[in-house]
């Protein structure tokens, strides 16, 4: 089997990436037709942080972070490193030293379908990670893998150059070509939500704003002041 480090990645326009980051994972997921969301096994290891960037993908042997080191060389400012393993792993494959190397390349965050360690150090340096586990178990540097090939992270296909958005709600990966359309749909949703937020804040009920009373009636939901006596 041949393993590759692919140097060239087609990246999305910075303004598109920024718009999707600001919209957030939940809004982008809805605007994209509820596609691209990584499974909930990948969790944010900090709070209040949102990033977006072009995916640099890594396929590693479990318990071996050799290819993460190889991937650093092809990273560019604004990228998000997406790390997977060829079989399930929770070993701490990423930590403060690798993060320091990525910061020097301008990488904005890491998504890893395995374990992360040095969490206090990562938080102190402000480098955000999303991972399957937090685990102090170390790794080796011995096995080949590939960089910038299609990978599957938490059940979701991620291609090199995909737009990856990550925040407290999770992680989503979208094809770069769909970015402008999804960003435009996000802007429409956000404007619509602003109007709804104002109506709800004024005291209007969601069942009225969304016209849900006929549906409740159709479904046989009955309003009573008290339950009938048996």
96 is in an annotated binding site: yes
Binding site annotation covers 118? yes
According to DSSP, the β-strands at 51-60 and 146-147 are antiparallel
**Triad 145, 97, 168: Cα angle to 5°:** 85
Q: Is 95 annotated as a binding residue?
A: yes
Q: Is 188 annotated as a binding residue?
A: no
73 is in an annotated binding site: no
157 beta partners: 152
Q: Which of 129, 103, 1 is nearest to 59 (CA)?
A: 1
Q: Is 91 annotated as a binding residue?
A: no
* DSSP state at residue 52: E
CA distance 175 to 161: 8
Q: List binding-site positions for Mg(2+).
A: 118
Q: List binding-site positions.
A: 95-98, 117-118
Q: List binding-site positions for substrate.
A: 95-98, 117
């Amino acid at each position: 089997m041949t393993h590759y480090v692919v140097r060239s990645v087609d990246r999305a326009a910075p303004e598109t990436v920024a718009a999707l980051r600001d919209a957030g994972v939940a809004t982008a997921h809805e605007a994209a037709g509820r596609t691209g969301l990584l499974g909930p096994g990948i969790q944010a290891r900090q709070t209040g942080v949102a990033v977006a960037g072009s995916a640099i993908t890594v396929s590693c042997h479990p318990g071996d972070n050799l290819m993460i080191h190889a991937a650093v060389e092809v990273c560019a400012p604004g990228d998000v490193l997406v790390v997977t393993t060829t079989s399930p792993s929770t070993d701490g494959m990423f930590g403060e030293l690798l993060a320091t190397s990525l910061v020097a390349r301008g990488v904005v965050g890491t998504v890893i379908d395995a374990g992360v360690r040095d969490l206090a150090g990562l938080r102190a340096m402000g480098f955000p990670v999303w991972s399957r586990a937090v685990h102090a178990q170390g790794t080796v540097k011995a096995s080949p893998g590939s960089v910038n090939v299609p990978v599957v992270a938490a059940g979701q296909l991620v291609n090199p150059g995909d737009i990856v958005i990550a925040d407290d709600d999770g992680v989503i990966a979208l094809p770069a070509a769909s970015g402008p359309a999804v960003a435009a749909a996000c802007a429409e949703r956000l404007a619509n939500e602003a109007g709804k937020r104002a109506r709800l804040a004024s005291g209007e009920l969601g069942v009225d704003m969304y016209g849900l009373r006929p549906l409740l009636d159709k479904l046989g939901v009955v309003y009573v002041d008290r339950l009938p006596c048996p």
